[in-house]
Structure formats: structure tokens, C-alpha cells
């Protein structure tokens, strides 16, 4: 595993740095076609080698199974290469590599600036590789437009936002100077994307979609069954929400939620403040009920979403502490709007973050959701468990703890209970839509209508959600799918609730088939 990780980090220096591995922070890596194709060949060799390895202890078997599931997923996706289809993949990697280290501030400013200067020098080369790699016959117009939206934020991010995070005036000036050539390269890249004509599809297809569920996620079923699971869950939740809505004096749950959405923070800044207060309350509740073991030194900071993420993410999200370091400080990002949003678009974003929904979001993102889980699993002594994780566990965990906290009495009013159920039915709708979109059974317009009528999303938010599903196949169903699997495993666990949480979450973010073995032995 040590040898494998050394190979993996050398080919993925951005991931290595964000995880906290030392020695990779001054490069963005090789994004050329030759480099990416060589990586796939070497990954295939690693999978063959690991397949021939004899089993050891249970932990050894879990480590090997985790790495093999990751490699199987990468090799399956090699048939549908992201690097020929999606400029956002390049941009997101570059932006996070430059921004996140300054956000975390775990090293002296001088070291951070020197690393960023070295990376900025490589930006023109990465963008040139993207321009050479994008295939007009494979790239989809939807994905190119997403990339264009991100690329337009680049100049402001690297010449103003990131230098503005540096306190030392001389270092700030050095960083700003180094950013200018990269900013010009981004300006040229924006012009390139504006003129790029893409004729490919964003639809993955049922064969590859099912392969990823079976080989990477180890679920035991494919896209068709996942789709039907989503439909069944939606129907069950629909009936439950109708009963809660009646307690609020409403004939149907959508009308009840529409009324609740009118009670929202007045501004984006106020929204952040209220999320911060709710995050503190969730932590105090979990601590008082003794539901999990808290890692020493953990801290969750609530911040506005990063500028470069605002065009493509309309929901709250989280950045974990780098697990290969002692840090246990994570960041809960509140979904601010892009600067060019209209007053009405901002209002709709605030309505989507109405006050009754905030307890559920804070539980999911912070306590005992993503922040607690990823801080806790960082203490696992097995290095590969800190490096690889699947959203079918991590996002499944976030939704699992929402229901667990409901069972513990955290959502103690009909309004907060309905908001909790809304978060769950929204994820059931995602299961239906994501599978239908990528298996060619639903148009974008039909998907937007489904999300706007089968959940409480505004039309604008539904549009942003569907755009995300098109660009990130198989991720959207991970929430409820994973939660249902974790609930099933809990039913078979013989110890206390706290013991179950500490054990299964502490084992990592494993594919669910492996997580079951880790929890039950």
C-alpha cells in the first residue's frame, strides 16, 4: 500500500497536497494526453498486481478492496475520458490547488506563496493541455458552458481573492505578480471556450453507469434497480410528508414548504450567521446525547462559498481537514450566489435556505455529518482509508445521520420535521432523475420539471441541480442510496448506537460492501 500510494501521489500531486502529503505542493501534475494515457496503463498494471495478492488480516483485505474498487472505477471511466470532455475538471483541480492551502493556512505564508508561485507558472501549460485534449466530438456543450462559467472567475480569484488572503505585503505583491501571466492565460482560455463548438453528449449510458455501481461502489445492483429504488422511496416519503403537512394545517406538503420558505434570512451574510449558530447547536446536541466520540481538536468553520464554486454549486458543501496532517479543522461553505445574480435570483437562493431547513443542513454538513465523520476517520491508522473514499458512503453518512438525529428528537417541530423529510425526498428524486438522464430516458427539461415538482426546489435551483447531475453522473444518487445501506447495516449491528457510529464511520469512506464487513467483522 505504501508503494501504491507513492505511485498514486506522484501522478496526482494536487490530490496529494490537499490530503496533506508532503513534497507535492509545487506542481499541478501532467495533464497532457500522453501523461493521462500512461496513467491509465499503469493503473491497469496495479489492479492486476493487487488482484494477485494474497489476503491478509481483515484490515489488509479492506485496504486492498478499497484500492481495487477505486482502480476499477478509473479504468471503467477511461472508456469515457473526462479529460476529452470536460474543461471544469481541469479548472476545478487548479482552483482548489491554489485556493484551499491558503484557506487552511496550515503552513507559514512564505511556504504557501512559494508553492503557489510554482503552480501558477504551470497554469498556462495545463490550460494548453486542456485546449489540445478537448475533443469537439466528445465534449458536450453543457459541460463546456459550465467550464466557461468557472473560467470567467479565474482572473479575480488568482489576482485578487487569493493574494488578499496573504497578510504580508511583500509576499502578497509577489503572489499577485506571479498570478498575472496565469490570469492572461485564463483570459485566452475564456475566449477559446467561448468559440468552442462541442457536439458530444454528457449522457454516460446505462452500461457504464451500472458498471460503476457494481465495480466501484460494490452495491450489487445496477442503474435500473437504483432507479426503481428511488421511485419507491419517493412514494413512501410523499405519503409521510402529507401527514406532517396536515399538522401544519396544509392540504399538501409542497404548499406547506412554500409557506415555510417565506421565513428565510434577509441577506446572504445573515444566512451564514444563522448557519453558524445552527452548527453550534447541532454539536451541543450530539455531545449531550453521547452519539459519537469527538476527535481531539476538531473545529468546523462556517464560511461563504468560494468565488470559483459559486457558478456551479448552488448548495452548501464542506471541505475536510487534510487527513494526512494533525489538523482537524474543516470548513462548512454556505451557498453564496455569483456576483452577477439578480436580486430575484438571490432571493430564491435565500428561500432555498429557509430557517426550518437549517437544522437539517447543519447536521448533514457538520455534526455529526461530514465534518465529524471526516475528522474522525482521519484518525484511522490505515493510510489508504484517508486517501480514498466514495460518496456512496460519505454522502450516505450525511443523510443517514439526518434520520438518526430525527429519531433522537432533534427536529422537534412539524416545520423542521417537514424540512428534514424534504431533504430526503429531494434525494429520492435525485435517484430517479440521475439514472434517467444518463440512461437516455429523460430530457434536461423533463428532469428540471421533475425536480421542481417532486421536491421543493425553485425552478432556478432545479435548473442548477440538473446541470450538476449532467456533469457528475452517479454522484447525485449516492446520498439516499448510501443512507439506506448504512441503515440496513445498523440493523445487523449488535452494539450501542455510539459504538456503531464510531466503528463504521471510523473505518473510512468505504464502498458499502466493504463498510458492511468493517462494521460487522
Torsion over CA: 382, 373, 481, 466 (sign): negative
Q: Are 430 and 313 in contact (CB under 8 A)?
A: no
Could you give the C-alpha distances from 311 to 96, 196, 337, in angstroms and in order?
15, 19, 7
The pLDDT confidence band at residue 304, using thresholds 50, 70 and 90, is very high
d(Cα 410, Cα 281) in Å, to the nearest integer?
10
- pLDDT of amino acid 467: 92
Q: Among candidates 397, 410, 415, which has minimal Cα distance to 286?
A: 410
Residues 290, 291, 293, 295: is their CA dihedral positive or negative?
A: negative
- pLDDT tens track for 352-380: 899 999 999 999 999 999 999 999 999 99
Count Cβ atoms below 10 Å from residue 247 Cβ, excluding itself.
Answer: 13
Residue 418, C-alpha cell as written in the block: 417537514
Residues with Cβ < 8 Å from 195, sequence gap 6 or more? Answer: none
Question: What pLDDT is stored for residue 180 in this prediction?
Answer: 98
**Cβ atoms within 10 Å, residue 10:** 14
Percent of the chain residues topping a pLDDT of 90: 93
Asked if pLDDT for residue 38 goes beyond 90, the answer is yes
State the burial class of residue 326 (Cβ atoms within 10 Å of its Cβ: 0-12, 13-18, 19+): exposed
Q: What is the pLDDT of residues 45-92, one digit of tens each?
A: 999 999 998 779 999 999 999 999 999 999 999 999 999 999 999 999
Question: Each residue of 309-353: pLDDT tens digit?
Answer: 888 778 899 999 999 999 999 999 999 999 899 999 999 899 989
Alpha helices in 368-496 (DSSP H): 370-377, 383-387, 391-407, 414-438, 444-454, 459-471, 478-492
pLDDT in tens, 307-317: 878 887 788 99
CB 166 within 8 A of CB 176: no
- Under the banding of pLDDT at 50, 70 and 90, the label for residue 521 is confident
d(CA 352, CA 315) in angstroms, rounded, equals 9
Domain spans in the chain, listed from the N-terminal domain onward: 2-53+81-195, 210-520
Residue 484's pLDDT is 98
- With contact defined as beta carbons under 8 Å apart, do 441 and 433 qualify? no
Cell 445498523, residue? 490
pLDDT of residue 98: 96
Q: Which neighbouring-strand residues pair with 300? A: 330
In degrees to the nearest 10, what's the CA dihedral of 388, 393, 395, 399? Answer: -160
Mean predicted confidence (pLDDT) in 381-398: 97
Mean pLDDT of the chain: 95
Q: Where residue 464 falls among pLDDT bands split at 50, 70, 90?
A: confident
pLDDT in tens, 416-438: 999 999 999 999 999 999 999 99
User: Averaged over 138-145, what is the pLDDT?
Assistant: 96
| Residue tagged 465529524 (cell numbers) | 372
pLDDT value for 55: 79
Let me know: does 32 contact 129? Beta carbons within 8 Å. Answer: yes
Dihedral angle computed from the Cα positions of residues 51, 55, 59 and 64, in that order, rounded to the nearest 10 degrees: -10
Residues whose CB is less than 8 angstroms from the CB of residue 368 and which lie 6 or more positions away in sequence, other chains included? 282, 286, 291, 292, 401, 405, 501
* Cα R_g (the chain), whole angstroms: 22
**pLDDT attached to residue 459:** 85
What pLDDT is attached to residue 458?
81
The pLDDT of residue 150 is above 90: yes
Contact indicator for 375, 321 with CB cutoff of 8 Å:
yes
- Reading the block at residue 293, the C-alpha cell is 466520540
| pLDDT value for 10 | 97
| Integer Cα distance of 117 and 176 in angstroms | 9
The answer to whether residues 426 and 462 touch, using CB atoms and an 8 Å cutoff, is no
Amino acid at each position: 500500500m505504501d508503494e501504491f500510494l507513492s505511485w498514486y501521489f506522484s501522478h496526482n500531486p494536487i490530490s496529494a497536497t490537499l490530503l496533506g502529503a508532503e513534497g507535492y505542493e509545487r506542481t499541478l501534475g501532467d495533464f497532457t494526453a500522453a501523461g493521462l494515457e500512461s496513467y491509465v496503463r499503469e493503473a491497469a498494471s496495479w489492479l492486476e498486481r493487487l488482484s494477485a495478492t494474497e489476503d491478509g488480516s481483515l484490515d489488509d483485505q479492506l485496504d486492498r478492496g478499497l484500492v481495487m474498487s477505486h482502480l476499477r472505477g478509473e479504468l471503467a471511466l477511461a472508456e469515457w475520458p473526462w479529460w476529452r470532455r470536460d474543461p471544469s475538471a481541469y479548472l476545478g483541480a487548479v482552483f482548489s490547488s491554489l485556493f484551499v492551502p491558503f484557506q487552511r493556512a496550515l503552513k507559514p505564508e512564505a511556504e504557501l506563496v512559494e508553492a503557489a508561485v510554482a503552480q501558477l507558472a504551470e497554469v498556462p501549460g495545463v490550460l494548453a493541455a486542456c485546449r489540445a485534449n478537448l475533443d469537439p466530438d466528445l465534449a458536450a456543450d453543457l459541460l463546456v458552458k459550465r467550464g466557461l462559467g468557472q473560467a470567467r472567475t479565474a482572473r479575480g480569484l488568482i489576482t485578487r481573492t487569493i493574494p488578499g488572503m496573504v497578510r504580508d505585503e511583500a509576499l502578497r505583491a509577489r503572489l499577485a505578480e506571479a498570478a498575472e501571466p496565469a490570469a492572461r492565460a485564463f483570459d485566452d482560455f475564456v475566449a477559446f471556450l467561448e468559440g468552442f463548438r462541442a457536439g458530444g453528449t454528457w449522457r454516460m449510458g446505462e452500461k457504464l453507469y451500472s458498471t460503476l455501481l457494481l465495480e466501484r461502489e460494490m452495491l450489487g445492483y445496477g442503474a435500473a434497480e437504483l432507479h426503481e429504488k428511488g421511485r419507491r422511496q419517493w412514494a413512501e416519503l410523499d405519503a409521510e410528508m402529507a401527514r406532517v403537512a396536515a399538522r401544519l394545517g396544509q392540504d399538501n406538503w409542497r404548499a406547506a414548504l412554500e409557506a415555510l420558505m417565506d421565513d428565510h434570512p434577509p441577506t446572504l451574510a445573515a444566512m451564514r450567521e444563522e448557519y453558524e449558530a445552527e452548527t453550534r447547536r447541532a454539536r451541543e446536541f450530539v455531545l449531550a446525547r453521547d452519539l459519537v466520540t469527538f476527535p481531539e481538536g476538531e473545529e468546523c468553520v462556517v464560511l461563504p462559498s468560494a468565488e470559483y464554486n459559486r457558478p456551479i454549486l448552488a448548495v452548501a458543501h464542506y471541505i475536510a481537514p487534510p487527513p494526512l496532517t494533525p489538523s482537524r479543522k474543516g470548513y462548512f461553505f454556505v451557498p453564496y450566489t455569483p456576483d452577477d445574480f439578480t436580486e430575484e435570483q438571490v432571493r430564491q437562493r435565500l428561500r432555498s435556505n429557509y430557517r426550518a431547513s437549517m437544522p437539517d443542513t447543519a447536521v448533514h454538513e457538520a455534526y455529526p455529518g461530514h465534518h465529524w465523520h471526516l475528522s474522525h476517520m482521519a484518525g484511522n491508522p490505515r493510510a489508504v482509508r484517508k486517501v480514498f473514499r466514495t460518496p456512496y458512503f460519505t454522502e450516505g453518512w450525511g443523510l443517514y445521520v439526518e434520520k438518526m438525529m430525527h429519531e433522537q428528537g432533534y427536529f422537534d417541530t412539524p416545520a423542521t420535521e417537514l424540512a428534514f423529510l424534504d431533504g430526503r425526498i429531494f434525494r429520492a428524486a435525485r435517484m430517479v432523475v440521475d439514472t434517467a438522464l444518463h440512461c437516455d430516458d429523460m430530457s434536461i427539461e423533463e428532469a428540471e420539471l421533475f425536480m421542481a415538482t417532486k421536491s421543493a426546489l425553485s425552478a432556478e435551483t432545479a435548473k442548477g441541480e440538473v446541470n450538476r447531475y449532467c456533469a457528475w453522473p452517479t454522484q447525485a444518487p449516492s446520498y439516499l442510496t448510501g443512507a439506506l445501506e448504512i441503515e440496513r447495516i445498523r440493523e445487523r449491528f449488535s452494539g450501542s448506537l455510539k459504538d456503531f457510529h464510531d466503528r463504521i464511520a471510523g473505518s473510512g469512506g468505504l464502498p458499502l460492501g466493504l463498510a458492511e464487513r468493517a462494521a460487522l467483522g
